[in-house]
Amino acid sequence: MQTVEELLLDEETLIGRYNMEIARWSDHKWSPTMPALYVILTDHRLILQAQSRKRREPAFIPCHAIKKVTSVEDDYHRLIALIQLKTGHHINLFVGRGGAPFIRALRRTGLPQSPVKFKNDLNLGYLQKIIQHVERL
């Protein structure tokens, strides 16, 4: 199994690593599949690597291929990330109780980057004028 450092490309930034399971919908309920997955989220890709003794190549999903990310809870209050790809495929992951930050980060990485570059200069004079205006209301 490859390490995170071996999987990252030069220009990639690691956002987080997680242990998850594929969630499959059948017989009107969600059930996990085996083996569990190591999920690595970067600013460019979602990497899924099976946790098994047998060597398997990881799956790489570019973030720009993600169309939509939603979440649901099953009957046992387990959080599930529903990932819809632009190809029409769906990946559903049990993300656990602390999975909300993963879902938020995944949504952000799937957003197209703005071509407009904003300057981050903060003009304190303008900020003070706004504060004074609000205080007079």
pTM: 0.73
Taking 90 as the threshold, does the pLDDT of residue 93 lie above it?
yes
Question: 114-125, pLDDT tens digit by residue?
Answer: 555 555 555 667
Give DSSP secondary structure letters for 82-124.
EEEETTS-EEEEE--TT-HHHHHHHHHHHSPPPSSPPP----H
What pLDDT does 12 receive?
82
Architecture category of domain 4-136 in CATH: Roll (2.30)
Q: Domain boundaries in the chain? A: 4-136
Question: 10-23, pLDDT tens digit by residue?
Answer: 788 888 889 999 99
